[in-house]
Chains A and B, each alone.
Chain A
Amino acid sequence: MSGARLTESIGARFPDAVITTHAYRGEETVVVRHEQLHAVAEFLKLDDDSKMNFLMDLAVVDYSMFGKSPPQAFFASSGVAVRPPARIPDKNPWPGPPGTERFAVVYHFFSTTHKHRLRMVVPVDETSAEVDTVCDLWAGANWLEREAWDMFGIVFRDHPDLRRLLMYDEFEGHPLRKDYPVRRRQPLIGPVN
């Protein structure tokens, strides 16, 4: 089944869940509301035309600084800012971040029967950063969701064991968020240098 028909069939089956679909650079993407995330994921896994038996990846993107980085200095120490040149024009431009919410949880699926991929983007608001877990569908989601909680602070409802994975328990904050400074160390022993 071709990718475009796959996104159409999802749109037909869940008309109120799908916000938008696109195929930037040939990659089928469907943006789904977080309330129906689990239903859509279950459909993708079990339906014969999609048969997404692999949850390849679960990533989170923090869109709070999108397009808003401070202008860079000509030399790192000079402070003289450069005006960036015009962007490279794209024949088939990307529609942009999926909505105004701060976070987007991005699921990448793959099917070994049909050999097709799909990306599902779920926008999540900052104030209620909670989505349903998909651990019951794919066992690999367990650790992927733990890492998303650790790095970004997204809570996964009904996750059997939501605790930090890569950072230590005493660490405060979620390091991959855009407002966490890259050099803020919280050492367990030794000086803060």
Chain B
Amino acid sequence: MPIDPTTEVETADAASAPAAESPKPATREMLLNIGPAHPAMHGIVRIVTKLDGEQVKEVDVEIGYLHRGFEKMSEQVDYNGVMPYTDRLNYVSSFINNAGYCMAVEKLLGISVPLRCEYIRVIVSEISRIADHLTSVGATAMELGAFTVFLYMIKAREYLWDLLEQVTGARLTVSYCRVGGIKADLPDEFAAGCIAAFAKTREVIAESEGLLKRNRIFTDRMMGTGVISTEDAISYGITGPFLRATGCDYDVRKDCPYSVYDRLDFDVPVGTAGDNMDRFLVRMEEMEQSMRIVEAALKDLPDGAVMTHPGTGRHIPAAEMVDLGKVGNIGAIADGCAVPGPTLEGAGRERLHTISTDNKRVALPAKENVYGNIEGLMQQFKLIMHGHGIRAPEGEVYEAVEGANGELGFYVVSDGEPNAYRVRVRPPCFAIMSALPLLLVGDMVADIVPTFGSVNMIGGELDR
């Protein structure tokens, strides 16, 4: 006799059952352990569930399988050395972590960065956000069986990673931000490449939406599953698309604007039902809004003064300049502008003041100055050598940015030494994962897949 999953668990008790009915079989709840090595593409976590048939009765989530000691390591290296570690927090949208950390340290130092640098940070942040949403939605769709959508979205992500590679040099873990600025200016053909990549990405998003949005299988599995109310979400500290899908419109970019977001016009999509389908729709719409932000920022991008040397207009290849500088032939290089190789492109003397603060205690000087005059050399020495370096004054700051999953906060405490004293990351998906028992209990085992997919758990951020 099949067990009805909606009834209470019953035990066979011939004495209490009416004599006319046959006694029901004894049942008990099953303990099912999902993970830590499991096929979902999102990362390692152990979900211990207690099932009554297909219904989930109790859930316990165990995390920490990717704990890599980010907070301990950031005390061992200097302020700029933490940058690669921050990349690997939310590794699908790594620039946003870089920017958040840099903004926290800049707040601690009390310095500001040039306007062009702010615009570039916004542009690269939004491109990273689009890449994150593409990965999240694609992986969720794949786990529900829509493998094609995953391939399409990863294809779109490749276009964006090509853009990121042109700008930063890396596809995934970019380390593009520096305390006081960014590493280098945008390449010349970036705007055209960006528009082209967005056109192709919009096509892919439209295609995927056509495949999924009114697809009976997809909507049946996503609607009404993984429901959470706004009060519960706020109580757990959930922010980001997850919270906005429940109806609350808290977005750090709108409510506590940082960088140049208050000058850019964009909408914040808000859902109503708080279920998986709303989260999917919110993420899809956010991608479109991010593209809108980038296009507006590209239009408003303040010009970087790109000038040649006012006196002579000479250009010297950077490698040559280095060699001449090393032998002390300053006269040959003092009146020329360096033409840097690919790794230094965009960081030459003529562009440096547009991408990096002027504060000598924080930002590296242009290479022409390092090899050309003693002040530049001393500035480089004081920032790079072990034991010297950026020294923030004693203090503590908390700076929050809108990560792809929600409010990404950095709490930095400094004691005046070249290393940070304490760096604490407030991970957005930590709050969402702590609410996972609430999301899963009451649904069926098969609903764990779309719910866990829409959580967009990134192990690097969750476990740090």
Contact = CB atoms under 8 A, between A and B. Distances in A.
A143 B388 CA distance: 38
Interface in A99-117: 106, 108, 112, 115, 117
A112 to B, nearest CB: 5
Interface in B299-319: none
Contacts of A75: 386
A89 B393 CA distance: 7
B3 interface: no
A87 B393 contact: yes
Given A94-B394, A165-B64, A166-B63, A88 B109 contact: yes
Nearest to A55: B237
Interface stretch (B122-130, B172-180, B320-328, B413-421): B413-421
B17 to A, nearest CB: 38
Interface stretch (A10-18, A33-41, A61-69, A125-133): A61-69
A69 B69 contact: no
Contacts of B385: 74
Given A67-B415, A75-B386, A88 B63 contact: no
Contacts of B361: 88
Interface stretch (B71-79, B259-267, B278-286): B71-79
Interface in B173-210: none
B431 interface: yes
A160 interface: no
B462 to A, nearest CB: 9
Contacts of A175: 69, 72
Nearest to B71: A176
Contacts of A81: 387
A155 interface: no
A166 B434 CA distance: 13
A140 to B, nearest CB: 3
A90 interface: yes
Contacts of B415: 66-67, 69
B395 A24 contact: yes
A8 interface: no
A107 to B, nearest CB: 11
Contacts of B419: 69
B426 interface: yes
B270 to A, nearest CB: 13
A51 B421 CA distance: 31
Contacts of A168: 64
Contacts of A143: 430-431, 433-434
B63 A84 contact: no
Contacts of B255: 112, 115
Q: Is the interface of A mostly helix, strand, loop or mixed?
A: loop
B360 to A, nearest CB: 11
A4 interface: no
B391 A165 contact: no
Interface stretch (B214-222, B228-236, B290-298): B228-236
Contacts of B416: 67, 87
A139 B411 contact: no
A59 interface: yes
A166 B64 contact: yes
B347 interface: no
A191 interface: no
A168 to B, nearest CB: 7
A87 B394 contact: yes
Contacts of A69: 415, 417, 419
A166 B239 CA distance: 22
Nearest to A75: B386
A138 B235 contact: yes
A157 B37 CA distance: 34
Nearest to A150: B64
B67 A108 contact: no
Contact of A140 (B76, B108, B421, B431): B431
B161 interface: no
A96 B391 CA distance: 16
Interface in B245-272: 248, 250, 255-256
A82 B71 contact: no
Contacts of B73: 182
A72 interface: yes
A12 to B, nearest CB: 25
8 contacts: A24-B395, A55-B237, A57-B398, A57-B409, A59-B422, A81-B387, A89-B393, A93-B394
Given A55-B237, A182-B72, 8 more contacts: A59-B422, A61-B413, A67-B416, A73-B387, A74-B385, A115-B255, A175-B72, A182-B69
